[in-house]
């Protein structure tokens, strides 16, 4: 059984084959040269961070299936500076178009020591930003981005740092490690 922890860069498709008809974009095949593995879950093209790849269907299901509610921790650079009331809403659950999210763990954090993003996040002198850590146990489409926007703090940069017990600790951007 193979389990690979990959630090997916911004702009990389979360699949091994290129999209048809769209602009050429890097894929997992440009980084991970291990046959027979596939992503356990998804990570949007404009999100970065931990992506788990495996050749074990049961493990893939345990990681990705919402029934198992595996915790996923994201570091989100958000527009503005969320106060305790906004964080409390995230902790309680936020109503989105497709329903109420499960309660999340949410806290403001110091700027994390991350690799620079290419392209960089747009800087605006007149609008402050800050970082929050958000841990969710479900996987609605673009959920973290929609949650932060729903409480008035759109996400500028999103990095998945942890899935279950696995984290990005010690894995550089575009690098991977087998565990």
Q: Cβ distance 70 to 164 under 8 Å?
A: yes
Residues in the chain: 179
44 is catalytic: yes
| Phi and psi, residue 107, nearest 5° | -155, 150
The residues pairing with 8 across neighbouring beta strands, listed in sequence order, are 49
- The answer to whether 118 touches 103, Cβ cutoff 8 Å, is no
Distances (CA, A) of 63 to 2, 3, 12, 30, 126: 14, 11, 21, 24, 41
CA atoms within 13 A on the CB side of 165: 3
- Given 30, 44, 55, 56, which residue is catalytic? 44
Beta-carbon-side half-sphere exposure of residue 17 (alpha carbons within 13 Å): 3
Cα gap 89→148, rounded to integer Å: 10
Task: Compute the chain's Rg from CA coordinates.
Answer: 16
Can you read off the two tokens belonging to residue 35?
């046959």
Q: Which residues are catalytic?
A: 44
């Amino acid at each position: 059984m193979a389990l690979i922890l990959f630090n997916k860069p911004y702009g990389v498709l979360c699949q091994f084959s290129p999209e048809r008809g769209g602009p050429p974009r890097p894929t997992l095949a440009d980084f991970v040269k291990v046959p027979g593995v596939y992503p356990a879950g998804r990570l949007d093209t404009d999100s970065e961070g931990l992506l788990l790849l495996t050749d074990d269907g049961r493990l893939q299901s345990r990681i990705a299936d919402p029934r198992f509610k595996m915790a996923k921790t994201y570091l989100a650079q958000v527009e503005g500076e969320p106060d305790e009331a906004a964080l409390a809403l995230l902790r309680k659950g936020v109503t989105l178009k497709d329903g109420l999210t499960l309660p999340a763990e949410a806290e403001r954090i110091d700027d994390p020591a991350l690799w620079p993003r290419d392209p960089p996040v747009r800087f605006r002198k007149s609008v402050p930003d800050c970082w929050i850590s958000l841990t969710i146990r479900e996987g609605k489409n673009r959920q973290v981005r929609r949650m932060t926007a729903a409480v008035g703090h759109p996400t500028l940069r999103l990095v998945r740092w942890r899935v279950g017990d696995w984290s990005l600790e010690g894995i550089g951007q575009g690098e991977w490690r087998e565990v």
